[in-house]
Amino acid sequence: MRLREIEEGVRVRVRGYRVPESARENIAGYVASRIISSLGVEAGVEISIRKRIRPKSGLGSSAASAVGAAFGLNELFELGLSREEVLRFALMGEHRFSGAEHADNVSACLYGGFTCVSYSPLRVLSLRVPEFLEYAAVLPEVEVETRRARAVLPGRVPLRAHVLNLGSASFMVAGIVLGDREAIRTGMRDEIATPLRSGLIPHFEGLREAALRAGALGLVISGSGPACLALCDSSVSTGEEVAGALADFYRDAGVECSTYSGKPGSGCKVC
């Protein structure tokens, strides 16, 4: 994302995946407009977006644009906003376009590392990721509507599933802090969303088995899908190697997909 000061207003230009260029209908444009009006900025901004994250993918496409706009305007106009204030402006965009102030994606994008979010009051912790940890993501060429993915989740959760997932979350955090590979593996268990949403993902069980055979610590649905995310111990299998195995599986299954791999990022920054 590139930002340029203009005399007034907010203009949005988009390359890559198509999203609205109207400042009112584009999440980056909306966040920029809120910052300018709320803080009395006496100038406008042109936002050029190279959209490389497919919308409705489960990979935080809208969050990336919201954070990029809030972070970029803070730098461009030297507003002196704290990271927490930047986060809150990005959350305005998430609320406007998704209907809820979910801070999971925007906090990860802004802070980097492994983020933990608490609400009422909002607080974000960013934990340093172990050096060995890499990721592989696969995005099949299907669309999963967020509303549909939410609709399959139950209003009540069985006690056993709740206890297991609470233990998984605890093990995941402990595994990140301690650099414990087996704890991270345990932390990737999910007995609530995955069993219900896996039917929305093409060949999910086979995909997970392919990830494990390739040496991944585990594979989960990313957000509401259809992207899936594997975590990897690079001393066993790199993210690139696991991504290749996931691509091979989908190719053999006749499903078109894109793959991504690398190390977890360190958060939003000026390039």
What are the sequence ranges of the domains in the chain? 2-126, 128-262
CATH of 2-126, one of 1.20.1730.10, 3.30.230.10, 3.40.50.10140, 3.20.20.10: 3.30.230.10
pLDDT at position 114 is 96
| 46, 75, 85, 146: the active-site residue | 146
Active site residue 94: yes
In this prediction, residue 141 carries a pLDDT of 93
Average pLDDT by consecutive 10-residue portion of the chain (271 residues)? Answer: 95 94 95 96 96 91 95 97 96 85 91 94 95 98 79 89 96 98 97 92 96 98 94 97 98 97 94 85
CA angle centred on 148, ends 145 and 152, rounded to 5°: 145
| Yes or no: domain 128-262 corresponds to CATH 1.10.10.60 | no
> For position 238, what pLDDT does the model report?
98
pLDDT of residue 175: 98
Residue 115 known to be catalytic: no
Backbone angles phi, psi at 106, to 5 degrees: -70, -35
pLDDT at 151: 83
- State how far the Cα of 181 lies from the Cα of 197, in Å rounded to an integer: 26
Q: Of the residues 94, 134, 186, 241, which is catalytic?
A: 94
- The encoded tokens of residue 234 equal 């690079």
Query: What is the distance between the alpha carbons of residues 228 and 142, in angstroms, rounded to a whole number?
Result: 12
- DSSP state for residue 99 in the 8-state scheme: S
Q: pTM of the predicted model, to two decimals? A: 0.91
* Residue of 76, 217, 36, 249 lying closest to 135 (CA atoms): 217
pLDDT value at residue 152 = 86
Residue 171 neighbours by CB under 8 Å, 6+ apart: 183, 184, 186, 187
Quick one: pLDDT at residue 120? Answer: 87
Q: Give the helix ranges, DSSP H, for the chain.
A: 27-39, 61-76, 83-98, 104-111, 146-151, 159-178, 181-187, 193-197, 204-213, 239-253
Q: Which pLDDT tens digit goes with each residue over 163-196?
A: 999 999 999 999 999 999 999 999 999 999 999 9
pLDDT, position 22: 93
pLDDT tens digits along 62-85 = 999 999 999 999 999 999 999 999
